[in-house]
Chain A
Amino acid sequence: MNDADKFIIRKAILELAKTGTPRFTSIDDEVRILYNINSKAINLWDFVTAIGAQLSRPPYDPYRETISLDISIGRKRSRKVILNIPLIIYGNIAIHYSSLESVHVALNRLAEKGNVLGLISEIEINTTKDNKRKYPLFKKVPFDINDGLEDYKKSHPEGLMLQYKDETSLKMLQNFRKEFDGPLLVDVSEVFPLYIKTILEEGADGIIVDTDKVTKNERYKGKHAIAVIHDAKKAINDYYKGREENDDDNAILVIAGDVNSAGKIVKAAALGANVVGYSTSMLIAHSNMYSEKPSDVSSIADNVYRHMVGTKGEIKGIPAALGYSDFHNLSPSDLRTSSIDASIQGDIPLEGIDRTYKEMIEQVVNEYVSEKGIKLNSSETQEVVRSIVRE
């Protein structure tokens, strides 16, 4: 329940319970006044829900049917990396070595139990024979290192992460692609939405988009992560449209940023994310710095481990409740929204009427032109719809 409304609701019902006589104002009257005074500052994510399985489609039961979360990263020509949970630990948070170490220990423990996740990091943990890395590391190569090739050759990461700054980054991408046969992910947050086609054509195995960074850019100012994920997926789909040889050539979309709870992971996946760059694990490790009595690496690793086990349970249960036995079968048609803005930004159908806002406007435009006897072809209609939606 909305915390702000609780007081109103409780007061109203208690009044009825006490007197048994009619009140002066209804709950809705009071809620209306409340929201006129305080405009709701709510994240657009909260206006988006997924539609579950009931009768027309039966739900799966995670205790009876196997729900798969596995994803393979790597296009046709690359060596593949398989994750058992579609998360790559990602930190836009200042990383202390000890926090990273705790995460490393936790990831090893998870991998031993068949729960392999990925990690993106510039620094590599010093591993000994006893704590060798059992999970894939996507080593982050900063964009101002042109000769990083030698460095990475020494360390054998399972994958690489390059940051794309501008056209100069293209040369670096080409060099690395020639030398490295594993999955190469390119962070396009600085330049989004440009260069994606070029990057994929050069053989990148996936793109990473940090929604926090992108929504601070000029191009996406005022927009929400939903628009970013939608546009990123569209860019990848456009690259594949009409292209021959698409079999087993699946470039992935990694979405990082404010997608850090199970609910948002599912919504981002439905919008098109294949893997989520997950920052909460790093936050948990890092929060140790704020403790009056900081714990040791092993205890923090336990925290991260337990948290991930709980998160896995959450993201396994939700696709089953939507009727899917595979997390990666979620699609935009599973989402609904109670906000016009979210419907425009993510092409998400509105609740109840099951059509997007754009489709509703298009219907009105078609009605208007047929009433007035005006002739518009389909691209002109789309142009009119676009200008209305922008208003």
Chain B
Amino acid sequence: MPYSKDILELKRHLLRAAESSNSYFDLNKLIVDVRKVNDSEIPYSGLGARSPNDYFPSIKIIGSKLRTKEGDYTTYNNINTIFTLGGRYSSNIITSDVPFFVSGMSYGSLKLPAKIALHLALNRLAKEGIRVIMNTGEGGALPWELYGSEESWSDVSKKRHEYILSYTDRLLKEHHLDSIDRDNLFCRLYPLITQYASGRFWKDPSYLLNADGIEIKIGQGAKIGHGGLLPGPKVTDLVAENRGIPSYKAAHSPSRHLDILGPEDLVAKILELREITDWRTPIIVKVGCSRVYDDIEIILKSYADAASIDGFVGGTGAAPWELRDIIGINTIPSLKPSREAIENYYSTNERDEFRLIVHGSVWDSERIAKCIALGANGVGIGTGFLLSMGCTLVQDCYTNVCPAGLTGSYEKLDIQTSVNGIVNYVKGTLLELKNIAGSVGRKSIHDLRREDLVATDELTSMICGLPLVDGRTFKDPVKEIVKMVIDKRRCLKDHKVNKTLEDTSN
């Protein structure tokens, strides 16, 4: 963050005072206090929380290799990596050629060039036979996302058609992208999921009708229990127009859907959406990881096709700093209770096409594989895609300043380079996934099991229910200690008894 001189000076003084005080102050967090002194506002931050233990490095996949022999990127060409979504209650099914997809990152939070880069990259990948699902994020969809095919224009009035094209022109002109070929742009070859969040930031019914899937966002990992947030300076005129809100005023979404206060309201909402979409469109419910077992249990009973859980380290464009860092649980510990909730449900109900999707600091293929082995069906990636476009992780996404041109300073982003980056990231990750599955001896990425994993420490073994590296469970060393303690007690007791006998006989 390009902090002003005053702020930096204040921070310096505060640092010196803290260092020479008797109390303990977290020196890394003093900047939060400085910002409060500066403007009395709750300080925001971007991207994900600090988690000193996110468990991923403490899990190993036995025998897996990311890379096969030199010069040959994969010998495992026939590994199945297809992911499907829908079919439990919806008549349509979304198919993705990879088990991971782009998590919701809204237009507004991301600047236009970044969104266009994602759109073009996913189109290119789809042309090469790799369909990747995109999520619009909660800020509404861009015109070419909703009208990316001939049929999508069929019910649109002439007036509306003109408006959409004029809005597109204004969008592209503002970002010096007017030379982009409109036919190329208004083409969507990848599946799109639109996000139904509490702010309801869209005006066009095609947002729900032209989507391949709808994701009801109850919450996200970075700000569990808190609504979506777009700071005032980022609500430009064009962003405001897309969302139907006033410009340059902070957009606070309510912390809950005002019409969803409990499980029965969720049932009503999903049935309403089903009616609107003629029971065609798959519906996903997204929650942040907190009371995972209870939330998944409710989602299973609510006529949804899939549940999506987001660990508290998941990224965001803007969230209150402290709230982001302290609410929620990690991604890995959420998988076991989710699976348990699902298996308990299916112990009394017929098994069907319910899917579990997981988000939250899953950046590369090995992490994707670990999530799938622990029970996820698909994985959402957000920050990973930003990194492939050049993100430098300064976490100032809530401002208009971004060194990579993603969430601010959009003029810095080179679309072609970003598109190449995204395409390579997806292809490289796909190859690695095939190698991992193949080297472990599986024919499909979805055949990875808990049995293919080991934990390297006691805590991870306990939380994930995995054996330790030497094959024992966390219980075995504990039982050895239990034996020692009990034997010791018995010895002491016997010694006491003998002593008493001695004393009485003397």
Contacts and interface: CB of A to CB of B under 8 A. Distances in A.
Nearest to B64: A26
B475 A367 contact: yes
Contacts of B263: 55-56
B388 A17 contact: yes
Interface in A255-285: 257-258, 260-263, 266-267, 279-280, 283-284
B23 A290 contact: no
B33 interface: yes
A6 interface: yes
A26 B365 contact: yes
Interface string A1-39: 111001001101110111111111111110110010000
A362 B296 CA distance: 28
Interface in A75-98: 92-93
Contact of A257 (B24, B291, B294): B24
A56 B363 contact: no
A351 B50 contact: no
A92 B25 contact: no
A263 B322 contact: yes
B483 interface: yes
Given A56-B298, A310-B43, A338-B330, A283 B17 contact: yes
Contacts of B458: 340
B432 interface: yes
Interface stretch (B250-258, B272-280, B441-449): B250-258
Nearest to A1: B48
A218 interface: no
B399 interface: no
Interface stretch (A58-66, A134-142, A174-182): A58-66
Contacts of A194: none
Interface string B405-436: 00000000000000011111101110110010
B77 to A, nearest CB: 13
A287 B14 contact: yes
Interface string A350-391: 111110000011001101110000101000100110011001
Chain A contact residues, majority secondary structure: helix
B334 interface: yes
Contact of B37 (A22, A284, A323, A336): A284
Interface string A287-318: 11111000000000001111101110110011
B110 interface: no
Contacts of A311: 36
Q: Which of B73, B326, B391, B421 has the most CB of A within 10 A?
A: B326
Contacts of A48: 326
Contact of A64 (B254, B367, B421): B254
Contact of A93 (B22, B293, B479): B22
A9 B21 contact: no
A261 B32 contact: yes
A351 B333 contact: yes
Nearest to B59: A28
B135 to A, nearest CB: 18
Interface in B439-467: 456, 458-459, 462-464
A352 B463 contact: yes
Given A306-B37, A353-B462, A360-B462, A58 B261 contact: yes
Contacts of A263: 322, 325-326
Interface stretch (B145-153, B164-172, B218-226): B218-226
A54 B291 contact: yes
A57 interface: yes
B393 interface: yes
A12 B364 contact: yes
Nearest to B58: A32
Given A23-B432, A257-B24, A283-B17, A56 B463 contact: no
Contacts of A287: 10, 13-14, 16-17
A10 B323 CA distance: 25
A18 B388 CA distance: 8
B459 A338 contact: yes
A53 interface: yes
B366 A28 contact: yes
A46 B333 contact: no
B322 A309 contact: no
B425 A59 contact: no
Contacts of A32: 57-58, 456
B38 to A, nearest CB: 7
Contacts of A280: 25, 33
B497 interface: no
Contact of A260 (B25, B256, B387): B25
Contact of B252 (A13, A63, A283, A309): A63
A383 B391 CA distance: 53
A20 B327 contact: no
Interface in B361-397: 361, 363-367, 383-384, 387-389, 391-393, 395
Task: Identify whether the interface residues of B are mostly helix, strand, loop, or mixed.
Answer: helix
Nearest to A318: B323
B33 A284 contact: yes
A22 B66 contact: yes
Residue among B21, B36, B285 with the most chain A CB within 10 A? B36
A338 to B, nearest CB: 4
A60 B255 CA distance: 7
Contact of A212 (B22, B334, B366): B22
Contacts of B8: none
A93 B303 CA distance: 58
Nearest to A49: B326
A313 B41 contact: yes
Interface string A206-250: 000000100000000000000000000000000000000000000
A2 B383 CA distance: 14
A267 B218 CA distance: 24
Contacts of A279: 21, 23
Contacts of A267: 326
Contact of A54 (B287, B322, B485): B287
B459 A318 contact: no
Contacts of B312: 49
Given A58-B256, A318-B326, A53 B290 contact: yes
B86 interface: no
Contact of B23 (A22, A26, A93): A93
Interface in B211-242: 218-219, 223-227
Contacts of B23: 92-93, 212, 257-258, 260, 279, 283
A321 B224 contact: yes
A307 B40 contact: yes
B102 interface: no
18 contacts: A10-B393, A12-B364, A16-B364, A16-B388, A17-B387, A17-B422, A20-B428, A22-B68, A49-B312, A55-B298, A59-B219, A303-B37, A310-B39, A310-B43, A338-B459, A351-B333, A353-B336, A360-B462
Given A20-B428, A52-B225, A351-B329, 8 more contacts: A13-B363, A26-B367, A27-B366, A55-B266, A212-B24, A351-B463, A352-B292, A368-B482
A-B pairs, top 3 by smallest CB distance, nearest first, are A352-B333, A321-B225, A310-B36
